[in-house]
Structure 1
Amino acid sequence: MKKILFVLVALFPLLTNAQEVSTPPEKYDGKVYKESKLDTKPEFPGGIAAFYKCVNTNFRIPEIEGGGNFVIPVSFIIEIDGSMSNFEILKDPGFQMGKEAIRVLSKVEKKWSSGIKKNKAVRSLYTFSITINIKA
């Protein structure tokens, strides 16, 4: 029993030092900046064309009798770590396309480079439109 107690007592200073050495992550103000207010805009790896390709490749187009052209305006926040959050469909054309847009965007694994304001990574608002052309 004394050996086990000695080992625990010997490890205790190492465990407490490890907690003291780690520093809490830097706190951010939580503001969300419009793209026009940033010094450096967020960028998707490979550029915007790569982002559109990613969305287009994964979007499941519904079968609609008669076809048509549909626009799905979407906004989301690019977080400081480059992930996307707070997806919002600004105008849903129906046929479950808004829901599908959110599904596709939430599955994007690649992270953006974050927006920069005064040499600091910040949360930024990004808005774009998905255009769907369905032939009859």
Structure 2
Amino acid sequence: MKNKLKIVITILFTAINSISFAQEYETKEEVFQEDIFSIVENMPEFPGGQDSMYKFLSTTIIYPNEAKEKQIQGVVYVNFVIEKDGTMSNVKIIRGIHQLLDDETLRVVNLFPKWTPGTQNGEVVRVSFNLPLSFKLKE
């Protein structure tokens, strides 16, 4: 009986030890990613401010002819990250209307110049920015 108990204890000890050994050396991929803020004390700003951005958009957007012919209109919502250096990254459509207008939105937004980056607690930070672009046909 004592031998059986010793064997059971030895097996349990070995099993527990091998499990903890495996966990100790288990590799976990850690991806470092700086925080991306949605709201900060000082939001990123297009050069010259909001009016300049609207002027840029109105002179740069080209309403696709096919979209005009098909009477496609509405609002495309695009999201992007303003990086610490004012450049943009991760530009993506979060709610589109039609591929034609979605593509035009991406084309125009990717032409944006560098922004003034956002700050939080005196530090320059990465900020996620949502922008609605309205496509409306004139009657």
TM-score of the two chains, using structure 1 as the length reference: 0.70
Is residue 78–residue 94 contact of structure 2 (8 Å, CA) maintained in 1?
Answer: yes
Distance 1:90 1:29, change over 3 A: closer
Pick from 53, 56, 59 the counterpart of residue 54 of structure 1.
56
1:11 is aligned to: none
Q: How many angstroms apart in 1 are the aligned matches of 2:50 and 2:58?
A: 12
1:105 is aligned to: 109
1:42 is aligned to: 44
Distance 1:100 1:66, change over 3 A: closer
Q: How many angstroms apart in 1 are the aligned matches of 2:70 and 2:138?
A: 7
Q: Which moved more, 1:57-66 or 1:81-90?
A: 57-66
- Deviation (angstroms), 1:29: 5.8
Distance 1:134 1:95, change over 3 A: farther
Is the partner of 1:104 in helix, strand or coil?
helix
Gaps of 5+ in 1: 1-27
Q: Does 1:121 align with 2:120?
A: no
Letter in 2 for 1:50: S
Paired-residue identity, %: 29
Q: How many angstroms apart in 2 are the aligned matches of 1:29 and 1:66?
A: 43
Q: Which moved more, 1:95-104 or 1:123-132?
A: 95-104
Could you give the per-residue CA deviations for residues 36-84 of structure 1, whole angstroms, max 9, x where no partner exists? xx12111111111111221221111022236353111111100000111
Distance 1:98 1:66, change over 3 A: closer
Is residue 73–residue 137 contact of structure 2 (8 Å, CA) maintained in 1?
Answer: yes
2:95 is aligned to: 91
Q: How many angstroms apart in 1 are the aligned matches of 2:122 and 2:33?
A: 14
Is residue 73–residue 97 contact of structure 2 (8 Å, CA) maintained in 1?
Answer: no
1:12 is aligned to: none
Gaps of 5+ in 2: 1-31
Is the partner of 1:96 in helix, strand or coil?
helix
Pick from 61, 66, 70 the counterpart of residue 74 of structure 2.
70
| RMSD, aligned α-carbons | 1.9
Letter in 2 for 1:32: I
